Amino acid sequence: MQLTALFTTAIRGLKSNKSRSALTILGIVIGITSVVVMMSVGQGAQDLIVGQIVSTGANTIFVEPGSWDPKNTSMMQSKMEEFDVKTLKYEDALAIAKDPTIDLVSPAVVGVARAVYQNKDKKITFMGITPEAFEINGTQVASGRALTKSDVKNMARVVVLGYKVKQNLFGDQEAVGRTIRIKKTNFKVVGVAEKQGMQMFQNLDENVYLPLTTAQKLLLGIDYVRWIVARAVDKSVMDQAVENIRLILRERHNIYNPENDLSKDDFKVMSQVEAASMLTTVTGVFTIFLSSVAAIALIVGGIGIMNIMLVSVTERTREVGLRKAIGASKKDILWQFLVEAVVLTVVGGVIGIILGVFFSYIASMVLSKVLGREWVFAISLDAVLLGFSVAAVVGVIFGIYPAKKAANLEPVEALRYE
């Protein structure tokens, strides 16, 4: 039987039961749409994260507590363990700042509390930082002033409010010069940061910035820092700067490590490129996981196709017998039902890809609005080809059994079937 005749016969057979065919296609449509949307959102997340890391500058270096553990593949577990490691000190940051390859250094601590002004209060994330953090992160002050070295040295009780915190506590009133309370301690507002939006899935406008020493001693009661961000004088000396930081911290922490085994250190040093690569890997694995979950719908859809085709074989037993009686071979019958299954999945795949692209675009618009950052609408050719290929493969796999069952029917018995 010619290929065109096969498709014509298959389409005619599917049209004879439009409702059943439509419901069968729906399972494939849901599966393909889910896979395309998950891959698109995952790619958008990668682009956003990498873009935000790159925006901090190609010569940015991140220092975090805790050693590299090749056996620990859980990023969440690693992050939780870092909060128990108290090895990084403010003095470490001061020592790093003296290295000739380093331009700026900013240690930081973080905590969560409620900021209170008169009868209003707001849950905030407070960041204990040094003045260099504003320059490294590109944070601008809309009114008032930024923090100063004098504030850090004198453990001053002053704060710079994030845009949203200012709006929630003061509305249209002037905030600079007023006093707010954090953890039963009064702080004078000396500045308000410009609107920044989301960065690394954190709304920076809900932050409150105060001197590092003030946050350490008055609010957290600690003598260590959560991380250190350094900026090399130029990206051409990045590798040397990273190595210098490792040597400085090993000397300060009394770590003997001539073989440069990173697992022996009690800290991690990452360049901007390494941090971007690590996060891209994490989001990539997460995307694969979500796509795999979505692919379950494809399997369910494939089982649905097999069931429908088995019903179709039963209903068309006499038709199969008649075709065999007038000369159709087993191969012709096999191909007839197999092509019907493939047509169902391919049509579902095409519709699923179109809907996947549409919903991916809608998702990018919604996420951009929610996060306050441009979420890139990303549809890769790989996602489209994967969706189309998977649809065809599902049709073949789940269509083979019903097709073989039809092909193996005996003509005489099929013609007698009622």
**Residue that terminates a domain, selected from 216, 236, 252:** 252
Query: Is residue 190's pLDDT more than 50?
Result: yes
Backbone angles phi, psi at 322, to 5 degrees: -65, -40
- Amino acid 127: pLDDT: 94
Mean pLDDT value of segment 50-55: 62
Beta bridge partners of 123: 114
Indicate whether 292 and 408 sit together in one domain.
yes
Q: What is the DSSP string of 56-101?
A: T-TTEEEEEES---TT---HHHHHHHHTT-----HHHHHHHHTSTT
Per-residue pLDDT tens digits for 104-136: 999 999 999 999 998 888 889 999 999 999 888
Under the banding of pLDDT at 50, 70 and 90, the label for residue 393 is confident
* Residue 145 resides in a domain: yes
Mean pLDDT of the chain: 79
Classify residue 271: in a domain, yes or no: no
Domain co-membership, 212 together with 287:
no
pLDDT at 215: 94
* Count of domains forming the chain: 2
At residue 317, does pLDDT exceed 90?
no
| Percent of the chain's residues with pLDDT above 90 | 27
Per-residue model confidence (pLDDT) at position 306: 72
Structure confidence at residue 145 as a pLDDT band (50, 70, 90): very high
Q: Which pTM was predicted?
A: 0.62
For position 172, what pLDDT does the model report?
A: 86
pLDDT in tens, 343-377: 777 888 888 888 888 888 888 888 777 766 667 77
pLDDT band (50, 70, 90) for residue 73: very low
- Residues 307, 394 share a domain: yes
Alpha-carbon torsion angle 237, 240, 244, 247, nearest 10: 170
What whole-number distance in Å separates Cα of residue 168 and Cα of residue 326?
A: 82
Count other Cβ atoms within 10 Å, centred on residue 218.
18
pLDDT score of 76 more than 90: no
Is the distance from CB of 417 to CB of 318 less than 8 angstroms?
yes
Q: Are residues 220 and 284 in the same domain?
A: no
Contacts (Cβ under 8 Å, ≥6 apart) of 361: 377
Q: Give the pLDDT confidence score for residue 247 in this predicted structure.
A: 92
* Distance between CA atoms of residues 396 and 346, nearest Å: 10
Residue 62 maps to a domain: no
Q: Say what the pLDDT of residue 14 is.
A: 64
Higher pLDDT, residue 413 or 263 = 263
Domain co-membership, 105 together with 34: no
State which of 252, 286, 309 marks the end of a domain: 252
pLDDT at 77: 41
Percent of the chain with pLDDT over 70: 69
Q: Domain ends where: 186, 217, 252?
A: 252
* Residue 178: band (very low, low, confident or very high) from pLDDT cuts 50, 70, 90: very high
Give the pLDDT band of residue 58 (cuts 50, 70, 90). low
Which residues form the domain of 248? 88-252
What's the pLDDT at 45?
A: 73
Q: What is the residue type of 295?
A: A
User: Do 111 and 35 lie in a common domain?
Assistant: no
**Among 32-46, 191-205, 321-335, whose mean pLDDT is lowest?**
321-335
Convert the pLDDT of each residue in 234-247 to its tens digit: 878 888 999 999 99
Do the domain assignments include residue 104?
Answer: yes
Whether the predicted pLDDT of 78 surpasses 50: no
Classify residue 146: in a domain, yes or no: yes
* Same domain as 119, residue 212: yes
Flag whether pLDDT at 93 surpasses 60. Answer: yes
Q: In this predicted structure, what is the pLDDT of residue 284?
A: 67
- Tens digits of per-residue pLDDT, 192-233? 999 887 665 567 888 999 999 999 999 999 989 999 999 888
Same domain? For 185 and 111 the reply is: yes
Residue 229 shares a structural domain with residue 373: no
137 or 381, greater pLDDT? 137
Partners of residue 112 on adjacent β-strands = 125
**Cβ atoms of 94 and 107 closer than 8 Å:** no
Is the same domain home to 238 and 98?
Answer: yes
Residue predicted with more confidence, 386 or 63: 63
In a shared domain, residues 241 and 294: no
Q: 241 and 112 in one domain?
A: yes
